[in-house]
Amino acid sequence: MPISSLASTTWRSTLGICLAASAMMMSSTSATIASNKPNVILIFADDLGYGDVGCFDDACPFQTPNLDRMAAEGARLTSFYVPTPYCAPSRGTILTGRYPFRHSVVRNPAPDVGESNFGLPHSEITLAEQLKTAGYATAAYGKWHLGHKETWLPRTQGFDEYFGILYSNDMFPVQLLRNETVVEYPVVQATLTRRYTDLAIEFMQQNRDRPFFIYLPHAMPHKPLAASDNYYTPETRADLYADVISELDSAVGRLLDQLKELSLSENTLVIFTSDNGPWYGGSTGGLRGMKGKTWEGGLRVPMIARLPAVIPTGIINDSPAATIDIFPTVCKLAGVATPDDRVIDGRDILPLLQSKSASSPHDAVYGMQGGALACIRKGKWKLHVRSPGPLRFNNLTPDQLANWEDPRGPDGVTLLAPFEQPRPTQHPGLTHGDRPKEMMLFDLDADRGEQRDVADQHHDVVRRLLAEFKQTESEVPEFPQPKSDYLFAPPAKGQPRTLMRLIGGELRYDRIPKSQQSLIVNP
């Protein structure tokens, strides 16, 4: 039987067996633990922009009634940052409370370009591992992207169970795992948002009498976009991004409704945020740049937190905070100490979630690009020590942009998603403003779109921020290039690497289709 067919009939039964077993192991003390330790659901969208959620942008092009309701019933932080404008380093940070230069994942694992020999080190302590010391049941459903070889998989990092894709949903081979076993290849991506949400609901039902932590790193709205039948609107194919956001928002509503039905709503912390800014088709809400750039559009993301017993309704706080803060804040609420044998960059931001006037616990927050520190945000000021860089595809003509073919786009064979994906002409953020260069200074209170560089008018501010930046930069080590698993001849100078269209079905990354075997470099 094909793996995809086998998976469609077995993944739920496998889940049921696992959950039944865990339920039988619950002790009589579970209810006591749950009485004073909040459940935690951490929803981490992929490439969702600051302007993709209605309550963060009055001109939001999408409908997000459930996220808007969640914000009204809790708190939203409007100056919330990720440490890098791309996936893997951001994921390491939200799970450890440490900047990428400390947890060492400063680049994206990607099997189809041979980036396979690194992951989150086992010396790092994840939020799941820390909460397990207090009796929490833990699960992760969705994109991992912290190492796709067996030594780095989720169940080695504190999660009791896992279901999802180990890297981005456009990287070959896209395959779904249940724990350490591939259960579906190729993947029907239109089902991912629903299936991840189903699993989260079943996990909370089975663990309602003990504290639980669910890490829910959704696939969407990372490309290729895909939505299930109830949300996909083929009559308006140009609005696929809106369909995807609608389903993601509905999934959040399902979780909130289920918590209420289980009488867990008051004692469950639900956090919603994103790993970086948007790709084409999304919205930065008037911020400059996008995913991959250290402009605000790449680093500033929406953040909503809801815990009715602790967080008042309708809180809006604009003080700078970041995903480094999730780890210590959750630990504080759970009554779990943070590790004292390492630097935890995050701080407890519960005061920001409880009061609109609370100040940031940080002297400054930082952004990285690759293995280098790139920018610093301090109060209203942001200094780009390194240039944010030019527009993506700035070397293409308008006609070439309109006809650009994504090498990781849906192909109807291994990447199963709608073909009508957004084009590079649909830039999600501001594309104008002063030319990007080193040492740009912006007053974000007056110019959150980073249009006018005021470094020449505020030399004292530049000096102060640069001194603080360099002090932190002195802690950043060199990151050697990992050993490559790329099997093809290197490209000519200035040319991109040919993607290895690896064949899935097993947890290995060396199976090349016949159509590409002529490219393999013989040892």
DSSP 323: G
Q: Which tokens in the block code for residue 464?
A: 């102060």
**Catalytic one of 18, 103, 145, 362:** 145
- The residue assigned the tokens 């650009």 is 404
Cα–Cα distance measured from residue 115 to residue 473, given in angstroms and rounded to the nearest whole number: 26
Greatest Cα-to-Cα distance within the chain, rounded to the nearest angstrom:
69
Q: What is the spatial distance between Cα 315 and Cα 309, in angstroms, rounded to a whole number?
A: 14
Q: Which of 60, 87, 331, 375 is catalytic?
A: 87
3-state SS string over 256-271? HHHHHHCCCHHHEEEE
- Could you tell me if 301 and 342 are in contact, meaning their C-beta atoms sit under 8 angstroms apart? no
The answer to whether the CB of 498 falls within 8 A of the CB of 488 is yes
Bridge-based pairing of strands 39-45 and 415-416 is unpaired
For this structure, is 87 an active site residue?
yes
Q: Give the position of tokens 């402009």.
A: 295
DSSP tag of 430: B
CB atoms < 10 A from the CB of 489, how many?
11
Please give the structure tokens belonging to residue 268: 């469950």
Q: How far is Cα of residue 376 from the mean position of the Cα atoms in its chain?
A: 21
- Could you give the count of Cα atoms lying within 13 Å of 86 in the half-sphere of its Cβ? 16
Looking at the DSSP assignment, which residues form a beta bridge with residue 40? 213, 269
Q: Where are the alpha helices (DSSP H) in 105-237?
A: 127-132, 192-206
Pairing type for strands 39-45 and 212-216 reads parallel
The two tokens of residue 329 are 């804040």
Axis crossing angle, helix 65-72 with helix 240-261, rounded to the nearest 10:
50
CA distances from 195 to 15, 188, 324, 329 (A): 12, 11, 28, 29
As annotated, the active-site residues are 87, 145
